[in-house]
Amino acid sequence: MKERFQSLMPKDAPPPGACVRIERPEPGLARLVLDPPHRKLAVLDVALMQDLERALDALSGDSGLVALVITGREPTSFAAGADIDALTSIDDAAFALELGRYGQGVFEKLARLKAFKVAAVGGPVPGGAFELALACDRIVLADHPSTKIGLPEVLLGILPGWGGSQRLPRRIGVPAALEAILAGRLFDARRALRLGLVDRLTWPEYLLRVASDIAMGRLRAPRYDRGAWKWLVDKNPLARALIRRKVLQEVRAKTRGHYPAPLEVIPLILAAPSTPLEVGLEHEAAALSRLMVSPVCKNLVSIFRLSEDAKRLGKLPGGGEAPKLVRVGVVGAGVMGAGIATVAAQKGLWTRLSDVDRAPLDRALHAHRANVKKDAARRRLAPHEIDAALDRLDAGVGLAGLSGSEIVIEAVAERLEVKLAVFGELARRLSPRAILATNTSSLSVDALAERLPHPERVVGMHFFNPVPQMPLVEVVRGARTSDEVVHAVARLALSLGKTPVITRDTAGFVVNRLLGPYLDEAARLFDAGVEVQEVDRVAKDFGLPMGPLELLDEVGLDIAAHAAESLQRAFGERMASSELLGRMLAAGLKGKKGGAGFYLHGEKQRVVNPDLARLRSAAGNVRHEFPEAAIFDHLLMAMLNEAALALEERVVAGPRELDLATVFGMGFPPFHGGLLRWADTLGPREVLGRILRLSASPAILSRPGGVARFKPAPLLRRVAEASGKFHAVEAEAPPR
C-alpha cells in the first residue's frame, strides 16, 4: 500500500532525506529538525512523513542514544499539521484506512523509541503537528503570540486520526479532551499550559536549550497529572455514561445531525483511558477512513481552502505587500460603528471613534471596556494587555481627532446626502493618501466618490452585524478605486480577524443581493398562509443557523424594508418586494429591537406573534397547501437564480468567492460547501427544472414580479444544458 502513497507526494517534493535533519549537539542527545526545503512552514505530507520514518529507523539502532528533541527550523515554526489537500483527495475508504494506520505507525515508532523524547514546539502547532508532539514524553512550548496549539480536525469534518483521540484523553482527561477536540479550538501558550496540553513554557530564544536540558535530565518538567480524577471520572463507567449522555445531547442539538465527525470521535475519547492503545488506534483509523471520504469532509475542507486563499488578498496583484494600516478612524458610534471600533482596538490598532453626540460615544466606550474585561476574565488577554486594549480606543465629538488616520470608516445613517457630507469634510481634513471607506450596505461607492478629490481612495468596507462575531467583510471596488486601496483594505480586514471578499460596486453587493429574494420569498410564504415556524423549520432543517423570518426579526423589519426598496430600485420587478413588511411596520412591529415582529421577543423566551394573522393579505387568510418541498424551493431556488445572475455579472471573481461569501456572510451551511457547490451537488439541470416548475406555478404567475424572479438566469441555462457545473465557470481576476 505504501506505493499508493506516492500518488500523494507533492509535485515539488525534494529528494529522500531532505525534509528531516538529524543533529548531534552533544553525546547521548539527538535532535530531529523538521526542515522541508519545499515548504515555508513544515507540513506533514508524504515526503516529510517518510523522511521522519527514515530518521527514526536510523536512531533506533543507536545504542548510545539517551535523549531526543524533535523541533522545527525555528522556535516559532514547527509544523502546520497534516497535508489536508492530500488527505481529502482520497475517495477510497480502504486507502484512507491505510493512510491513517501509516501516520499512526510513524508516531508509534517515535513513542517506542528507547530514549527520553521532548517536543520543542512553537508557532502554529495544529492537528497532526500536535499529535506528533503527543507521542513524546514531554512537550515544551514557545511562549509567543504566534503560538496556537490544538486539534481542530472536527472543524474539517474529520477527527484526530494519528493518535490524538487516544493520547490527549490520557494526558488531560476525558472531559477536557472532549471540550478541546469537539470545539476544535487552538489554544495560546498560557491556556495550553493550564489545560495540561503541554508541560513547560519558555521564551522562544530558550526553547532548544530548555528542551535539551529536560531531555537529558538536567532540568525537571513534571508531567501533567490529574491525580484521583483519573479514577473518579476517566475510568469510572458510570461517570463516563453520564458524560456521554450530556455531550451527545449537546452535540445533536447544535449540529442537528449534519456533522458526523463529533459523533464518531465522542466514543473514541470516552473509551480511550480504559482501552489498550493499539485497539484505540485501530478504532480511530477506522473512524477517520469513514469521515475522510464523506461529502461533509470534502465540503468543509473546500471552505477552509477558500478562507486560506482569501488571505492572499492582503497582497498586491504583483505579489508585493499591500500597505499596512495601523491608525483607524470610525465615524458613527451606533451599533455598527462601535462594533468596528472595538474590534480594531482589540486587534491592536490605534482607533479613534467619532460621533456628533457624546452619548453614543460613552455607550461605545462602556461596551468596549466590558468586552475587554470579559476577555481578561476568560484569560484571553494577559494582564499587561488589558490597559493597552483599553487605551487603543479613543473617542471624541466631531471629526477633529481623525486627521492622523490612515483610513476612516464611516458608519453613519444610510442616506446618501449624510454620507456625502461626512466624506466631503473628511477629504478636507485628511491626507490625500488617507483611505475613505464606507460601511454602506445599499449605497453606491461610485456615487460617494463622484464629488471627492482623489476618488481612487474611496472604497466600500461592508461589515456584518454583529461585527465581533460575523467573519465576512465585503471589500467593494468602485470604478476608480485603486488596486493599492482595495488590497490595503483587504489586509486590514485580515488583521481584524475577518475574511475579505472583493465585490463590484453593485446594489446589495453579493450577500444582501442574494438574501433579498430569499427573505422576500419567506415573507410571501407567510402572507400566503404558511405558518411562521414552518417556514423557519424548513430552512433550519437544511442547516441554516436560523430561519428567514427569525433573521428578518434580528435584522430589523425597518432595515430589511429599506434594503428591499434599494434592491427593487436597482433590479426592477425581479426584486419586487412583498407588501407584508410595510403592513407590519405600520402596525408598529420592528422585530427583535422593538420586542415584536414575526415573533414576540421576551427576556427568556421567544414565541410566534399571535397577532400576525390579521396582517396577512386577504388571500393569505385562506389556507393554501405548501408542501415542505415547495417551501424549500421558493426559498433556495430564488437565492440560487440570483446567484447565477450575480456570477454572470462578475460581482465577485468567481464561484469560489461567491461560496465563501454565502457561508461567512449569510450563514449558508458550511457542510454543504457554499451555495454554488451545493447547487453542483444537486445538479444544475435539477436546479433549472425546479425553477421552471416554480415559474409556471399559479402562485408565481399571479403575483407582481414573480415571473421575473423565477425566469432562469442565462448562465444557469447554459451550465444545465451543457451538463456542466457552476464551479467549472472560469474565474476572473478580482472584479473591477
* Predicted local confidence at residue 724, as pLDDT: 92
Gap between the Cα atoms of 295 and 243, Å rounded: 29
Average pLDDT of span 574-600: 94
Q: Are 655 and 727 in contact (CB under 8 A)?
A: yes
Closest CA to 150 of 200, 197, 84, 103: 197
Average pLDDT of span 419-446: 94
Closest CA to 637 of 564, 533, 710, 582: 710
Gap between the Cα atoms of 96 and 88, Å rounded: 9
Q: What residue type is 601 in one-letter code? A: H
Residue 463 has pLDDT above 60, yes or no: yes
Strands 472-477 and 458-462 turn out to be antiparallel
Q: What digits encode the pLDDT tens for the residues 210-222?
A: 999 999 999 999 8
Question: Where does the pLDDT of residue 225 fall: very low under 50, low under 70, confident under 90, or very high at 90 and above?
Answer: confident
Q: What percent of the chain has pLDDT over 90?
A: 84
The residues that bridge with 472 in the sheet, in sequence order, are 499
Average pLDDT of span 280-296: 97
Alpha helices (H) in 311-436, listed in sequence order = 335-346, 358-377, 383-391, 416-429
* Predicted local confidence at residue 619, as pLDDT: 60
* Predicted local confidence at residue 652, as pLDDT: 96
Question: Where does the pLDDT of residue 720 fall: very low under 50, low under 70, confident under 90, or very high at 90 and above?
Answer: very high
Enter the C-alpha cell of residue 448: 460617494
Gap between the Cα atoms of 258 and 157, Å rounded: 10
This prediction has a pTM of 0.92
Gap between the Cα atoms of 112 and 244, Å rounded: 32
CATH of domain 511-728: 1.10.1040.50
Question: Where does the pLDDT of residue 706 fall: very low under 50, low under 70, confident under 90, or very high at 90 and above?
Answer: confident
Give residue for cell 483611505.
435
CATH number assigned to the domain with residue range 2-301, chosen from the 4 options 3.30.830.10, 3.30.70.260, 3.90.226.10, 1.20.1250.20: 3.90.226.10
Closest CA to 162 of 83, 88, 102: 102
* Predicted local confidence at residue 523, as pLDDT: 96
Average pLDDT of span 551-572: 93
User: In the β-sheet with 186-187, what is the strand arrangement from edge to edge?
Assistant: 124-126, 148-150, 186-187
Gap between the Cα atoms of 471 and 459, Å rounded: 19
Q: What percent of the chain has pLDDT over 70?
A: 97
The residues that bridge with 474 in the sheet, in sequence order, are 462, 501
Q: How many residues does the chain have?
A: 736
Q: What residue type is 585 in one-letter code? A: L
Enter the C-alpha cell of residue 249: 445531547
Gap between the Cα atoms of 371 and 374, Å rounded: 5
Q: Are 389 and 383 in contact (CB under 8 A)?
A: no
Gap between the Cα atoms of 123 and 203, Å rounded: 12
DSSP assignment of 259-296 equals -HHHHHHHHHHHHGGGS-HHHHHHHHHHHHHHHHTSHH
Give residue for cell 457554499.
674
Question: Where does the pLDDT of residue 639 fall: very low under 50, low under 70, confident under 90, or very high at 90 and above?
Answer: very high
For residue 644, the 8-state DSSP code is: H
* Predicted local confidence at residue 2, as pLDDT: 60
User: In the β-sheet with 350-355, what is the strand arrangement from edge to edge?
Assistant: 393-397, 350-355, 327-331, 407-410, 435-438, 458-462, 472-477, 499-504
Residue 703 has pLDDT above 60, yes or no: yes
Average pLDDT of span 169-194: 95
Residue 732 has pLDDT above 50, yes or no: no
Closest CA to 364 of 391, 402, 335: 335
Write the CB contacts of 488 (distance below 8 Å, at least 6 apart in sequence): 322, 323, 324, 325, 407, 435
Q: Are 662 and 542 in contact (CB under 8 A)?
A: no
Using left for φ > 0, alpha for ψ between -120 and 50, and beta otherwise, residue 16 falls in beta
Task: Considering only residues 391 and 409, tell me which one the structure prediction assigns the higher pLDDT.
Answer: 409
* Residue 508: exposure state from Cβ atoms within 10 A (0-12, 13-18, ≥19): buried
Write the CB contacts of 272 (distance below 8 Å, at least 6 apart in sequence): 165, 166, 169, 170, 174, 177, 280
Residue 381 has pLDDT above 80, yes or no: no
Average pLDDT of span 319-341: 95
Cα(first)–Cα(last) distance of the chain, in Å? 49
Gap between the Cα atoms of 200 and 192, Å rounded: 10
Q: What digits encode the pLDDT tens for the residues 491-549?
A: 999 999 999 999 999 999 999 999 999 999 999 999 998 999 999 999 999 999 999 99
Q: How far is CA 656 from the centre of its chain?
A: 15
Residues of the chain by 3-state class (helix, strand, coil), percent to 5: 55, 15, 35
Enter the C-alpha cell of residue 494: 485580515
Gap between the Cα atoms of 84 and 580, Å rounded: 48
Gap between the Cα atoms of 232 and 714, Å rounded: 65
Contacts 24+ apart (CB under 8 A), 364-370: 364/333, 364/337, 364/338, 364/395, 365/393, 365/395, 367/338, 367/342, 368/338, 368/341, 368/342, 368/393
* Residue 386: exposure state from Cβ atoms within 10 A (0-12, 13-18, ≥19): middle
Strands 350-355 and 393-397 turn out to be parallel
Q: Which residues are catalytic?
A: 462
Enter the C-alpha cell of residue 209: 536549550
Domain borders along the chain are 2-301, 319-504, 511-728
The residues that bridge with 26 in the sheet, in sequence order, are 29
Gap between the Cα atoms of 191 and 380, Å rounded: 8
Question: Where does the pLDDT of residue 733 fall: very low under 50, low under 70, confident under 90, or very high at 90 and above?
Answer: very low
Task: Considering only residues 731 and 374, tell me which one the structure prediction assigns the higher pLDDT.
Answer: 374
Longest dimension (CA), the chain: 90
* Predicted local confidence at residue 736, as pLDDT: 45
Closest CA to 525 of 334, 325, 308, 706: 706
Using left for φ > 0, alpha for ψ between -120 and 50, and beta otherwise, residue 551 falls in alpha
Average pLDDT of span 462-475: 95
Q: How many C-beta atoms surround the C-beta of residue 373 within 10 A?
A: 14
Strands 67-72 and 350-355 turn out to be unpaired
Angle (CA) 624-628-631 rounded to 5° is: 70
Is the domain covering 319-504 a CATH 3.30.1490.20 domain?
no
Enter the C-alpha cell of residue 630: 415547495
Residue 39 has pLDDT above 70, yes or no: yes
Residue 622 has pLDDT above 70, yes or no: no
Q: What residue type is 603 in one-letter code? A: E
Helix H or strand E encompassing 201 = strand 200-202
Gap between the Cα atoms of 294 and 96, Å rounded: 11
Q: Are 79 and 52 in contact (CB under 8 A)?
A: no
Q: Are 32 and 20 in contact (CB under 8 A)?
A: yes
Phi, psi for 682 (deg, rounded to 5): -65, -40
